C-alpha cells in the first residue's frame, strides 16, 4: 500500500494505492489522525488505484469519515471499482459514499 | 490425503503472508469453469472472483490475528483450494485458538461499524460456510458459479461443533 496527501486550499486529496488490508492499514492511521487534528474541511479519498481492501481498511476509511463529520468536515470517496467496490456495496457504504 | 486437482498451500500464520495467499486464491478462481486442459476462462476482476477473494482475505485475517494472537506460540495456516467446473471450495486450517462463530453478532450496518465485519463478509459472499474447532480449526467455504447450484438457504450457514474462545471480527 502506498498513499499520498495533497492539500489545495480547503481541499485535501488522500490517494491510496495497492492493497489496504490488516497489514498495511496501521501505516495509514497516523495520516488519518493528522487530518482529523487539522480539521481539513474537505477530504477526497481517491481509491482509483486501490487493488484490494479488507474490513480493516474499510474500518479506517469509515473512521476518517465519522471523525471528520463529528467536527463538521466532509469526506468523499472516489474511484471505487472491482474488489473494493464489491466490499463497499456489501457494507452499504455506497449510501455514504455514492459511486 | 492428497487429492489431485486440489491446490495446497502452507504459510506462516502471520499477516505478512496474507497477500501471497490471497493471490493464490485469486488465481485459483480463474480455474473454476475451465476444462482440465485449460487455464481458465478469460474473467478478470469479475464480481464472483472479487467476492471469493474478499471472503478468503477475511478468513486469513481471522486466523492470523485471532487464532494465533491468543495462542501461546505462532503457527502455520494450511490452505486447500478445490476448483471444480462450477464451484470453488477453500479450506483454511489453523492450529491456534478456536472461537464460537455463533457468538459473533451480525454488524448493524446503519451505524457504520469500523470493526466486526470479517465474518459478515465471509457469510455474505460465500454460499456455504462451516467452522469446526480443532486442533486444527477448519473453516470451509464454498461458492458456486451459478445460483442454481447453491444449496437451499439455511437460517445460519456457519455451524460449529463446540468450543469457544477469543472474539472475532
Q: Which three cell numbers stand for residue B141?
A: 467455504
Confidence of residue B164 (pLDDT cuts 50, 70, 90): very low
Q: What number is the average pLDDT over the span A7-24? A: 97
What ipTM did this prediction achieve?
Answer: 0.94
Q: What is the pLDDT of residues A46-95, one digit of tens each?
A: 999 999 999 999 999 999 999 999 999 999 999 999 999 999 999 999 99
A21:B124 CB<8 A? no
Element (H, E) at A19: strand A11-20
B61 vs A contacts (CB less than 8 Å): 21-22, 54-56
A13, β-bridge pairs: A6, A44
A-interface mutation test, from B51, B112, B168, most A Cβ less than 10 A away = B112
The answer to whether the Cα torsion of B154, B160, B162, B164 is positive or negative is: negative
pLDDT value for B11: 97
The predicted structure's pLDDT at residue A99? 75
Distance CA B158, CA B152 (A): 14
Where does the pLDDT of residue B69 fall: very low under 50, low under 70, confident under 90, or very high at 90 and above?
confident
Give the model's pLDDT for residue B130.
Answer: 96
Taking CA–CA distances from A52, the nearest residue in chain B reads: B54
**In this complex, do A86 and B47 lie within 8 Å of one another by their Cβ atoms?**
yes
> Is the distance from CB of A3 to CB of A47 less than 8 angstroms?
no
B169: number of CA atoms within 13 Å, CB side? Answer: 23
Bridge partners, B13 (sequence order): none
Amino acid at each position: 500500500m502506498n498513499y499520498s496527501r495533497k492539500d489545495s486550499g480547503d481541499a485535501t486529496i488522500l490517494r491510496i494505492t495497492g492493497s489496504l488490508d490488516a497489514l498495511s492499514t496501521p501505516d495509514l492511521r497516523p495520516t488519518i489522525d493528522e487530518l482529523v487534528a487539522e480539521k481539513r474541511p474537505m477530504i477526497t479519498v481517491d481509491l482509483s488505484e486501490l487493488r484490494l481492501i479488507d474490513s480493516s481498511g474499510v474500518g479506517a476509511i469509515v473512521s476518517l469519515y465519522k471523525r471528520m463529520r463529528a467536527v463538521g468536515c466532509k469526506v468523499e470517496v472516489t474511484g471505487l471499482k472491482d474488489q473494493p467496490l464489491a466490499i463497499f456495496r456489501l457494507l452499504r457504504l455506497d449510501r455514504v459514499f455514492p459511486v | 490425503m492428497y487429492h489431485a486437482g486440489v491446490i495446497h498451500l502452507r504459510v506462516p500464520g502471520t499477516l505478512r503472508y496474507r497477500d501471497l495467499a490471497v493471490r493464490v486464491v485469486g488465481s485459483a478462481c480463474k480455474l473454476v469453469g475451465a476444462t482440465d486442459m485449460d487455464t481458465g476462462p478469460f474473467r478478470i476482476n469479475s464480481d464472483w472472483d472479487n467476492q471469493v477473494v474478499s471472503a478468503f482475505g477475511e478468513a486469513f485475517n481471522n486466523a492470523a490475528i485471532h487464532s494465533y494472537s491468543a495462542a501461546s506460540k505462532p503457527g502455520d495456516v494450511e490452505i486447500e483450494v478445490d476448483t471444480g467446473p462450477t464451484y470453488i471450495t477453500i479450506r483454511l486450517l489453523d492450529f491456534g485458538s478456536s472461537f464460537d462463530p455463533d457468538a459473533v453478532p451480525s454488524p448493524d450496518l446503519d451505524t457504520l461499524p469500523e470493526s466486526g465485519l470479517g465474518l459478515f463478509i465471509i457469510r455474505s459472499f460465500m454460499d456455504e460456510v462451516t467452522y469446526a474447532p480443532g486442533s486444527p480449526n477448519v473453516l470451509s467455504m464454498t461458492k458456486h458459479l451459478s445460483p442454481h447450484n447453491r444449496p437451499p438457504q439455511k437460517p445460519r450457514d456457519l455451524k460449529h461443533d463446540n468450543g469457544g474462545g477469543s472474539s472475532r471480527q
